[in-house]
Structure 1
C-alpha cells in the first residue's frame, strides 16, 4: 500500500499557526483541545462555559460557535444536519458577508498569538471558509483529526439530546468525510479518541512531526497537568471497535470509513485510501435526497407519535386528577357522616351535663353567700393590717434615710483617707526616685574606680615582673663573673704571671696607683 510521503517541516515559514481540530461532536475534540492547551497552544479569549456533559470545558470560542451556527443557517443547514453543506455557498456573496466578522473574531479571540487552537465540530463542514479567512489574516492552518467509534458518538448524543442513534451515525459520517476531503493538502495528523485517552504522551511527537511544529510547554509539569486533566472517569459510552467493524448489519459506508480512519491513526495517512473515501462520499451524497425524504417522514411520524403520547399523558393526568377528586369526595362524605353521628352524641351528653350544671349552680349559689360573709370579715382584718404596714414602712424609710447619711459620711471620710494615702505614696515615690538616682550615680563611680584600680594593679604587676627580670639577670651575670674569676685564679697562667704582676706594681710610679 502506498503511503503518503512525509511533508518536510517548513522552517522558513514564520507565519502564525492555527491548530484546527476537526472531529464530530462527542468525539473527544474537547479533550484534545485541553491537551494542546497544556502543551503551549493559546485558547480563545471568550471560552464556551463548561456543561454537565463536558465538566472540564469545551476549549472553544463561544463567539466562533455562534458565527458557525449563523453560517450554517444562511446555507439552509444546522449543526445536526447530515446532508452536504451547499457547495455553492462558499463562492456566493453570502460568504463574503461573513468573511469580515470571521476575521474580526480571529483577531479578537487570538490577538497576536503565534500558536493557538481553533476548535468547533461545525468547522468540519465549513473548513474551506475558515482556511480562506486564516490565510487572509496571514495565519497558517494545520489540522488534527480526531475520531471516535460512531456507536459511542451515537449513544452519547442519544443520552445528551435524545437523538436517534441511526441519525447520529449519519451525522458522524458527514462530518468526518467533509473534514477529511477539505483538509487535503494541509499539514495534518490523525488520531482516535481511544489513543488520546490511553497513550496521549506517545502521540505528541507524531502530531508535532506531522504538523511540522514544536510544543512550547512539553515538560514534566505539563505531563502531570495533562494526566490530571484526562480523567478516565469522565469517559462514557465505550464499545469495542469490533462491535461495529464486524457487524454485517451496520452501514458499509460507516464501517469502511471508520476502518480507514483507524488504520490512519495507527499506521499513518495512506493516500491510496483517498479514492475509496471519495467513492463513499459520492454515494452518500447521491443517496442524500432519498434518505432525506425518508428520514423527514420518519421524524414527522415520530413527532406525531410524540404529540399523541403527550396528549395521552395529559389525558391520563386529567383522569388521575378526576379520580383523585372522586376519592377525596367519597372520603369527605364519610367524614361528614361520622362527624354528624359524633355531633348527635355530643348533644345528648350536653343536655345531661346541663341538668347537672343547674343543680351544681344552686349549690354554688349558697356557698357564694357564705363565702361573701367570710370575705367581708377578711377585708376588715386586711384594712387593719394595711394601716400597721404603713406605720412600719414609715419607720423603715426613716431608718433608710439615716443609713444613707451614714454611708455618705463614711464615703467622704474614705475619700479623704485615699487622698492622704495618695499624697504619701507620691512623696514616697519621689524619695525612691531620688535614692535610685543616687544609687545609680554611686554605681557608676564605683565602676570607674574599679577600672582605675584594675589598671594600677596591672601596672604594678608589670613593674614587679620587670624588676624581677632585672634581678634575675644581675644575679646570673654576677654568678657568671664569679665563676670566671674562680677559673682565672685557679688557672696556671695566673700563677705563672704572679711575679710579673708584683714587679708591675713595684715599678708603677707612686701617686698613680
Structure 2
C-alpha cells in the first residue's frame, strides 16, 4: 500500500545490490530521499488502470474483463518494453510501485514472458498511519484512505501466495532492517549481491526514523471510529503473519474478509460511483469557479497595479506641479527684485541727470565769470583810451 514504507524498503533493497530503474521518479517533499520507482512505468500503470476504468485512488475491485481485454494489450506491451528498458538484463531487480497490488496476475504474466522469477516483499504499516500520511500528502479523507489500504493489502496478499514472499512490519523494519533483510533472503531465496562500499553505513544513513511522522498504536486501530471491523481484522491478521505465523487459518480469515469486502463493494459501488461522480462534477464546478475567481483576482491585482502606477504618476505630476509653482514663485520674486532694481536704477539715472545739469549750469556760470574777469581789464583800457 502507498505510504507503507515501500520507498524505504526499495531504497534498502537497492543498497543491497538489486538494480533500480534507470529513470526513477525524482525525490519529493513527501519522499525527500527518493521513491526508487520507475517514472515511465508508474505512468504506464496509471494508463492501464484508466483503461480498466479505475485509478490508484479507487478502492473497488478491478473489472477483470476490461483489464484483460484487447484494449489493454498495447499497454501490456508497453509495460513489458519499459521493464526491458528500465532494467535491461540485470540479474536482480527491484520493481517498486504500490499500483501493482491491484493487478498482480497481469504483471506476473508479463514477468513470466520475460523469464523473470518474481518474489514479493510486502511491508505492513498501521492503517491509521497510512491514512494520516495520505491525508497530509493528498488531502484524502481517512475513511477513503482506509478503504484504499484494505483493497491494496488484500489484493497483494492473495495474489502473491504462489510466490516466494516475505511479509514484514514497517515499524520493525525501521528498528532492525538487517534482521528483516536476512529473513527476507531466507524466505525468498534471494541472495543480496556483495557490495564493496559498506552498504550497512549507507543504509543506516538513509533509513532514519526522522521520516517516520505519523504514529498510531494497535489500540488506536481498535478504538478509532473510522476503522471498520474489516480493516481492524485485516491488520491484526497481517500483523500476525509479519510476526511469522503465516498459516492456513490466517489465510482463511483473510479470504473471508476479502469476500465480505468484495460483496460490500458490489453492493455499494454503484451508489458510491454515482456519489463520486456527483462529487467530481461539484469539484469541477468548484474548480471552474476557483479558476474564474483566480482570474478575477488576477484582474483585480492588475487593476490595483495600474491604479498604483497611476497613483505614482499622479504623485509625480503633483511633485512636478509643486516644483513648477515653486519655480514660478522664485521667478516672481526675482521679477519683483528686478523691477525694484530697475526703479532704483531709474531714480539713480534721474538723479545723475539733475546732477549733470547742475554741474553744467555751474560750469556755464564759471565760464561766464571767468570770461568776464578776463575781459574786464580790456574794457577798462578801452574806456581810458576813449577818454584820453
Bin the TM-score by the shorter chain: 0.7 to 0.9
Q: Is the aligned partner of 1:362 residue 2:339?
A: no
The gaps in structure 2 that reach 5 residues or longer are 350-388
TM-score, normalised by the number of residues in structure 1 = 0.57
Q: How does 1:431-470 map to 2 (within 5 A)?
A: none
Aligned to 2:237: 260
Cα distance per residue 1:396-451 (max 9 Å; x no partner): xxxxxxxxxxxxxxxxxxxxxxxxxxxxxxxxxxxxxxxxxxxxxxxxxxxxxxxx
Q: How does 1:96-175 map to 2 (within 5 A)?
A: 96-175=73-152
What's the secondary structure of 1:153's corresponding residue? helix
Structure 1: distance between partners of 2:174 and 2:347:
99
What is the CA distance between 1:57 and its match in structure 2? 1.2
Aligned to 1:237: 214
What's the secondary structure of 2:168's corresponding residue? strand
Q: Is the aligned partner of 1:285 residue 2:258?
A: no
Aligned to 2:8: 31
Cα distance per residue 1:209-260 (max 9 Å; x no partner): 1101222237891111100011222222222232113436521111111111
Moved more, 254-263 or 244-253: 244-253
Check the 8 A contact 2:57/2:148 in 1, yes or no.
yes
Structure 1: distance between partners of 2:35 and 2:343:
92
TM-score, normalised by the number of residues in structure 2 = 0.74
Distance 1:285 1:144, change over 3 A: same
Structure with the greater alpha carbon radius of gyration: 1
Cα distance per residue 1:63-118 (max 9 Å; x no partner): 22122112111111111111111123454334544443333223222222111111
What is the CA distance between 1:187 and its match in structure 2? 0.5
What's the secondary structure of 2:176's corresponding residue? helix
What is the CA distance between 1:25 and its match in structure 2? 1.2
Q: Is the aligned partner of 1:201 residue 2:185?
A: no
What is the CA distance between 1:171 and its match in structure 2? 1.1
What is the CA distance between 1:46 and its match in structure 2? 2.1
Instruction: Tell me the number of residue pairs that the alignment of Structure 1 and Structure 2 aligns.
Output: 333
Check the 8 A contact 2:143/2:226 in 1, yes or no.
no
Q: Is the aligned partner of 1:68 residue 2:49?
A: no
Structure 1: distance between partners of 2:73 and 2:254:
30
Q: Is the aligned partner of 1:228 residue 2:205?
A: yes
Moved more, 230-239 or 31-40: 230-239
Distance 1:367 1:192, change over 3 A: farther
Q: How does 1:324-335 map to 2 (within 5 A)?
A: none
Structure 2: distance between partners of 1:361 and 1:290:
109
Aligned-residue RMSD, C-alpha: 3.7
Cα distance per residue 1:323-352 (max 9 Å; x no partner): x98xx99xx9xx99xx8xx98xx7997898
